[in-house]
């Protein structure tokens, strides 16, 4: 029997890789994790975490500029000033602390962590090149690819030369006066919203009619209206950017669109046109993963092809997270990593079929205002089940936070909600929210949907008043939906929730 140095070798120290490495070590396995840059991956270093810090700063800016006076606060005629450098340092210091926490986590879990650029030699061997150029080979019985993704620059004259990616956003030393954000996905609307709230003039360039086209139309249309109201300048039906030129005299960028429009005088041009997996070139223009030495299959878009258990076509090689292109969210990668470790190493009978579920995944867009969503859109529900089998409940209102604002009702920010039900029992297949607090309220409703809730189950929950989330359990004519529960212990008709099983 062949002997290997490690039971598991993880390529990539991001959220999914770390989760799998630590869980595997908890099962008594010898684990090595190789990371090329900083522990925590995209989420911790140039993604979710620093983005949320910037969103919080933008939220404070909005409060100071728009909300404070309505609540009777007077700043004496002086405008609060943003010290961008101070904000950046505090954010970066926080990220560094998190890097250290992950490193300590490896020590406490018994995982060996090393840094370097990693590539396959064969199915059980990788070669790691450290920062000094030293090459070392390691062997493992099982290998996990968890290398994540990276931003993509679309083709075009001067685009790579004069633009920054979402990664580059976190390297900015100053707040730009004029920013052009190119893209229609959640990264684009999030960063456009942050920059706009902090005081930049923001141009959002979308290829077609609006951003977030894959979201429920009520939500994407609602965000579009709120962005316009907030002052974001949206360039529609552009088909993208032709070229970006630097004006040598002003050091500003001029952006030419395929539609013929030109945006002059940008301090930054931020490309948020998509991401691609770190597979063929894990580190651009340097060491590659050399997947060709293993026979691991990749899709036309270079995602590693896996089944529902994270297996590749090679028996001892696995992959998870953004590198696979399936629900590219940090918590999904973490869950997939833990489930994989349990299946491979726990030894428990019930874990032999352990896998992560990609259905009814709640997610949030930290736009201005925020979006919370779980399940499918109304058009998708109609496509799947037929129009007659789908019932939709909607609500539009101004959050109580804006109740005392001395402005016309149509000028107050709106909260939009939609509950999509399907079938005779009105099973909830989609919940979509735009508005204040949607980011925090969606987690609980995600649990309910995962458990198979019906509209009657939502109605059976007592509303918390006064909150925005109570609207989701009081929509329509309350209590008139088919009295069928999706719960194992029905809460309908005032039934008690049941007792915990003790043996």
- d(CA 123, CA 340) in angstroms, rounded, equals 18
- d(CA 208, CA 82) in angstroms, rounded, equals 34
- Is 237 noted as a catalytic residue in this protein? no
Q: How many CB atoms lie within 10 A of CB 136?
A: 11
Provide the pLDDT for residue 358: 87
Q: Are 111 and 23 in contact (CB under 8 A)?
A: no
Q: How many CB atoms lie within 10 A of CB 193?
A: 29
Provide the pLDDT for residue 397: 97
Q: Are 320 and 16 in contact (CB under 8 A)?
A: yes
Q: Are 6 and 31 in contact (CB under 8 A)?
A: yes
**pTM (two decimals):** 0.93
Strand-pairing partners, residue 202, are 179
454-475 confidence digits (pLDDT tens): 999 999 999 999 999 999 999 9
102: tokens are: 């992950």
Question: Which whole-number Å values give the CA distances from 42 to 95, 166, 333, 371, in the listed order?
Answer: 11, 10, 12, 21
- Angle formed by the axes of helices 84-109 and 48-62, to 10°? 150
Q: Are 282 and 127 in contact (CB under 8 A)?
A: no
Look at residue 22 and give its three-state secondary structure.
helix
- d(CA 34, CA 10) in angstroms, rounded, equals 6
> What single DSSP character describes residue 426?
T
Provide the pLDDT for residue 282: 41
- Dump strand ranges (E) for 350-442: 363-365, 371-375, 390-397, 415-422, 427-434
Alpha-carbon torsion angle 156, 213, 148, 119, nearest 10? -50
189's torsion region: left (phi>0), alpha (psi -120 to 50) or beta?
alpha
Angle subtended at Cα 170 by Cα 95 and Cα 242, rounded to the nearest 5 degrees: 155
Q: How many CB atoms lie within 10 A of CB 276?
A: 17
Query: Mean pLDDT for each 10-residue chunk of the chain (503 residues)?
Result: 94 97 98 96 96 98 95 88 98 98 97 96 96 97 96 94 96 98 97 98 98 98 97 97 96 97 98 79 51 92 93 97 92 95 95 90 97 97 96 97 94 96 95 97 94 94 96 91 85 67 60
Half-sphere exposure of 148 (CA within 13 A, CB side): 27
Of 237, 290, 303, 465, catalytic: 465
Provide the pLDDT for residue 280: 53
CA nearest neighbour of 386 among 356, 353, 414, 423? 423
């Amino acid at each position: 029997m062949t002997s290997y140095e490690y039971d598991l070798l993880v390529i990539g120290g991001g959220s999914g890789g770390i989760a799998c490495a630590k869980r595997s070590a908890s099962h008594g396995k010898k684990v090595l994790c190789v990371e090329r840059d900083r522990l925590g991956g995209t989420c911790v270093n140039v993604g979710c975490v620093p983005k949320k810090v910037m969103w919080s700063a933008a939220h404070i800016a909005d409060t100071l500029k728009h909300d404070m006076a309505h609540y009777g606060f007077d700043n004496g005629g002086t405008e609060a000033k943003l010290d961008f450098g101070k904000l950046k340092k505090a954010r970066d210091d926080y990220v560094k602390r998190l890097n250290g926490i992950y490193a300590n986590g490896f020590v406490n879990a018994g995982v060996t962590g090393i840094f370097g650029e990693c590539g396959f030699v064969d199915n059980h061997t990788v070669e790691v090149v450290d920062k000094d150029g030293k090459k070392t080979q390691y062997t493992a019985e099982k290998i996990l690819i968890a290398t994540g993704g990276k931003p993509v620059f679309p083709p075009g004259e001067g685009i790579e030369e004069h633009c920054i990616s979402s990664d580059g956003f976190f390297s900015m030393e100053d707040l730009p006066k004029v920013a052009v954000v190119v893209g229609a996905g959640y990264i684009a609307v999030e960063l456009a919203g942050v920059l706009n709230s902090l005081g930049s003039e923001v141009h959002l360039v979308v290829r077609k009619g609006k951003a977030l086209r894959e979201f429920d139309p009520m939500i994407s249309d609602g965000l579009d209206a709120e962005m316009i109201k907030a002052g974001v300048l949206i360039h529609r039906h552009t088909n993208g950017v032709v070229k970006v030129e630097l004006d040598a005299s002003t050091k500003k960028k001029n952006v030419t669109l395929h539609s013929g429009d030109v945006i002059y005088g940008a301090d930054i041009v931020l490309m948020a046109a998509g991401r691609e997996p770190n597979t063929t070139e894990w580190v651009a223009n340097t060491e590659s993963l050399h997947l060709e030495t293993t026979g691991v299959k990749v899709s036309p878009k270079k995602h590693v092809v896996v089944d529902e258990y994270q297996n590749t076509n090679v028996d001892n090689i696995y992959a998870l997270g953004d590198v696979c292109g399936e629900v590219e969210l940090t918590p999904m990668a973490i869950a997939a990593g833990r489930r994989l470790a349990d299946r491979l190493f726990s030894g428990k009978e019930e874990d032999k079929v352990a896998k992560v579920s990609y259905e009814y995944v709640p997610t949030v867009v930290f736009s201005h205002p925020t979006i919370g969503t779980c399940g499918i859109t109304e058009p998708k529900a109609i496509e799947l089940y037929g129009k007659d089998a789908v019932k939709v409940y909607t609500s539009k209102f101004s959050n109580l936070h804006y109740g005392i604002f001395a402005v016309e009702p149509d000028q107050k920010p709106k909260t939009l909600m939609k509950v999509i039900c399907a079938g005779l029992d009105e099973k909830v297949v989609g919940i979509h929210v735009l508005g204040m607090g949607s980011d925090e309220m969606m987690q609980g409703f995600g649990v309910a949907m995962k458990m198979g809730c019906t509209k009657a189950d939502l109605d059976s929950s007592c509303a918390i008043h006064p909150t925005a989330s109570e609207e989701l359990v009081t929509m329509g004519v309350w209590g008139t939906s088919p009295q069928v529960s999706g719960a194992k212990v029905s809460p309908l008709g005032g039934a008690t929730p049941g007792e915990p099983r003790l043996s």
